[in-house]
Amino acid sequence: MTETKTNDQMSAYSEAVKSGLYAKRTGLVGKYDNVRRYWEDEITRRFLRPYLMKLVEMTHSQVQRLRIMDLGCGSADGFELLTGIRQGRADFKEWEIDVLTEEVLGAYKGVDLSVDLLEQARSIYGDNPKMEFKRADFCQGLPLAPDEKPYDLYFSSYGTFSHFNEDEPLVRLLAEIAQQTKNYCLIMCDWLGRYSCEWQTLWTDDFSQNRNMDYVVSYIYEKEEREQRREELEHLCLRLMSRQEAEIIISQASERAGVEIKPLLFFDRSVFTGRHMDTAEYNPHAQPIRKAVNSLHEPNLRTDLNSLLVNYIPKQELESINDYFEYLQVCWNALVEYTSCLLERYDRREGCFCGELPATPDKYPPVLKNMMERMRRVFEGVGWLEEGLPRENIIEPQLGYALRTLVASLQQGQGCAHSLCGILEVNKKGD
């Protein structure tokens, strides 16, 4: 993508910032809604955690500290995501459980083209001497000065790499990173998934078609305001990516660099909960599942669990993709319906369930059976509470976490979600 075209698209982010809905807060709407904080960020942390821990241990053993370049940093969202990664299953008694601590971090460099987002980042983190924010277009090449040391982690998030509308600039960037790496680095890639339910009308198995989509930043407004502002909404040209296409790009970059860039993991994030599920801009059958999940995590708010039930409408010519979504839908709905049954049969006065609970079919996947068992234990543990709105503030959030675990465990890393993420490794030492 040319610099002129990229600059033009930055106005979309400026509009979003000015709306006030890019402010760093959580809730039912806006950029930092509950799904963003409790699902999207946490799923990324889950998959990145073991690789980041290995990287931290590696740099520590070399008596060094971690250097991070955040490509498309926005208002330092990537920094907040990374510093929120915890040490796996920490004991309750522990309190220092962050992987990326102040002592571990040596330098963080955030790169973005949006002046407004960079100003927001500096207003929050400008006093931290380890943090630097630079305006640069990484689609034109790696923003690394001649005398600047390479970084240990090159991080991107929230579909940033979809700004590469053509593959060649991304091949060049990945090759440059590999060539500049001294011994070892990780690269975190993040694209819009080709097969997200949000834009089912764009699905195709012909990768020469529908490579880029006209992405409307309309989700920051509620429906009525969205329609009123229809003519004002900014549009982005963003690349859709499948795992097969990503692997081809990575292979080409490796060949150009003369250095292996090894994919360690691909994962899908926000399978049923992408932002445009609520807008239905690109799929007339899309349901507002994100809105329902946001409600699960909203304090003091009771959710109609029927609003969580998914009714997936298949696109017939893509059988393997349909099969995945059909399977996931059945598992998702089974967990929601089981929780609804628990709500109906739990007697708060007696502190127990009335009547037998439905049996769990043997052929259910282990993760689904585990999440159903988890929800039963939640009811038994907190159902008797009189204060604190146990359904709204304990049971419903736990259902949200159970659904999140279900989706993360059953995802396939094929581009079947709002984001397809890839964790790559450059290891010149070979150990």
The number of beta carbons lying within 10 Å of the beta carbon of residue 279 is 19
Please identify which residue in the block is written with the tokens 């259910």.
Answer: 364
Class in CATH terms, 3-271+417-427: alpha beta
Residues 6+ apart with CB under 8 A from 105: 65, 66, 68, 130
The number of beta carbons lying within 10 Å of the beta carbon of residue 347 is 12
8 A C-beta contact, residue 110 and residue 121 = yes
Domain ranges across the chain: 3-271+417-427, 289-410
pTM score, whole prediction = 0.91
The number of beta carbons lying within 10 Å of the beta carbon of residue 148 is 14
Residues 6+ apart with CB under 8 A from 102: none
pLDDT by residue, tens only, the chain of 431 residues: 555 556 566 666 566 555 555 555 668 888 889 999 999 999 999 999 999 999 999 999 999 999 999 999 999 999 999 999 998 777 778 787 899 999 999 999 999 999 999 999 999 999 999 999 999 999 999 999 989 999 999 999 999 999 999 999 999 999 999 999 999 999 999 999 999 999 999 999 999 999 999 999 888 777 888 888 888 888 899 999 999 999 999 999 999 999 999 999 999 999 999 999 999 999 999 999 999 999 999 999 999 999 999 999 999 889 999 999 999 999 999 999 999 999 999 998 888 999 889 999 999 999 999 999 999 999 999 988 889 999 999 999 999 999 999 999 999 999 999 999 999 999 998 76
Phi-psi region of 258 (alpha: psi -120 to 50; beta: other; left: phi over 0): left
